Amino acid sequence: MTRLTVYSDSDPSTVEHSTTDRAVIEAHLALAGILFEQWEAEQPIADTADSGAVLTAYAGAVATLKQARGFRSADVVRVPKGMPGTEPLRAKFLSEHTHEEDEARFFVEGSGAFYLHLDDKVYRIVCEAGDLLSVPAGIKHWFDMGPEPHFAAIRFFTRSDGWVAAFTGDVIADRFPKYDGPKYDGPK
Ligand SMILES: [Fe+2]
């Protein structure tokens, strides 16, 4: 279930705020300057839909976001259920980092957890199908796809050389609850 959990960055054991109400999540994140919204497919899409079909199904919303935020291109990344060898992939984004461009992800299927480190807070956002989250450029964050990764997401890019992570070297991510997957995720 889509969920926002807010912590102090110095106390991962105390939940300051937790909600699964998407409207509340949107409002809460908007106050912090973070874009979070829900999109609906303009036409039904199959689980096996290729990138072109996915982008077509969300063409209006994709075009609007590109225009509003200056993204030049979009693609679809898919990690299918049961894909072998995902451990290194999970580990890659589990350390705190920043990007020089916004990291916008729309979840078409499956789920994953973004952790945004803003001032003295950590915002943990479990995103599921229908959720769009845009992490602003320069915001410290990490991403946990869980122990059994499964998601398809539309990614947005402003640079032709793609999106590059600058790791902060802070091990803060190790102190916060991991994402256990949709079956086991609850208030942390
Ligand atoms: Fe990132």
Q: What is the pLDDT of residues 81-136, one digit of tens each?
A: 999 999 999 999 999 999 999 999 999 999 999 999 999 999 999 999 999 999 99
Q: How many CB atoms lie within 10 A of CB 125?
A: 23
Residue 73 has pLDDT above 60, yes or no: yes
Direct distance between the N- and C-terminal alpha carbons of the chain, in angstroms, rounded to an integer: 13
pLDDT at res. 188: 55
Structure token pair of residue 182? 């949709």
| CA 94 – ligand 1 centroid, Å | 9
Residues with CB under 5 A from ligand 1 (ion): 103
Specify the number of domains making up the chain: 1
| CA 141 – ligand 1 centroid, Å | 6
| CA 56 – ligand 1 centroid, Å | 25
Q: How many CA atoms lie within 13 A of 73 on its CB side?
A: 10
Rounded percentage of the chain residues whose pLDDT exceeds 90:
87
Whether 181 is in a domain gets the answer no
- Kindly report the average pLDDT of the chain as a whole number: 93
From the list 16, 41, 39, 11, the residue with the least C-alpha distance to 28 is 16
Structure token pair of residue 148? 């059994």
Instruction: State the residue range of the domain holding 162.
Output: 38-115+127-173
Whether 182 is in a domain gets the answer no
